């Protein structure tokens, strides 16, 4: 979400505005993400992030929690609090999910991977199940670290998210 390792012109918010416009949706995207941020960091920033009026809130946190081995219960609790705050402002939410690799162990993987579906169901919010769908583990779509999408990966993610937003608005 924050565009780690990418030129600003290739950040998701910039591409998403263009991809939405290509679908007939004029938008102004405010990117409040911080590279390397956890769900706790997002929770700490949520109130100043919501000072304006928004038509949609895209919640894309949790990947860095997983990479740091933060308990899925903590991540879920932080995301719940963010969702509660956003819903009090009557802003629809699109939750973008992440997945833990099997190298974290079956218990962690299962617990982490269930967070997003459970929250979407509990709070009746829109869900994009896996932000890196079609991008994860593809070396042609990722930076050399194998974790962060490159320009091509972000472009693919943007097109898929734009299509999801178009469906939400319709």
| Tokens encoding 30 | 């405010």
**Mean pLDDT value across residues 123-137:** 97
Q: Specify the residue for token string 């939405």.
A: 20
* Contact indicator for 93, 46 with CB cutoff of 8 Å: no
**What's the rounded Cα separation, in Å, for the pair 132 and 134?**
6
Model pLDDT for residues 21-66, shown as the tens digit of each residue: 999 999 999 988 888 899 999 999 999 889 888 999 999 999 999 9
| Tokens encoding 122 | 């509990």
Instruction: Please say whether the structural domain 8-169 has been given the CATH code 3.40.50.1110.
Output: yes
pLDDT top residue among 157 and 33: 157
| Tokens encoding 165 | 């937003």
pTM over 0.85: yes
Q: How many CA atoms lie within 13 A of 157 on its CB side?
A: 30
Sequence ranges of the domains in the chain? 8-169
């Amino acid at each position: 979400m924050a565009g780690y390792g990418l030129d600003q012109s290739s950040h998701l918010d910039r591409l998403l505005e263009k991809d939405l416009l290509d679908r007939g949706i004029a938008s102004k995207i405010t990117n409040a993400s911080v590279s390397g941020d956890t769900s706790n960091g997002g929770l700490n920033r949520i109130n100043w992030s919501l000072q304006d009026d928004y038509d949609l809130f895209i919640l894309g946190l949790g990947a860095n929690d997983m990479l740091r081995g933060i308990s899925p219960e903590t991540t879920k609790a932080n995301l719940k609090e963010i969702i509660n705050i956003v819903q009090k402002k009557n802003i629809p939410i699109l939750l973008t999910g992440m997945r833990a690799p099997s190298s974290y162990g079956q218990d962690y993987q299962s617990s982490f991977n269930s967070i997003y579906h459970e929250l979407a169901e509990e709070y009746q919010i829109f869900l994009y199940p896996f932000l890196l769908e079609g991008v994860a583990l593809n070396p042609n779509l990722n930076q050399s670290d194998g974790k962060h999408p490159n320009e091509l990966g972000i472009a693919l993610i943007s097109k898929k998210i734009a299509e999801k937003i178009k469906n939400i608005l319709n």
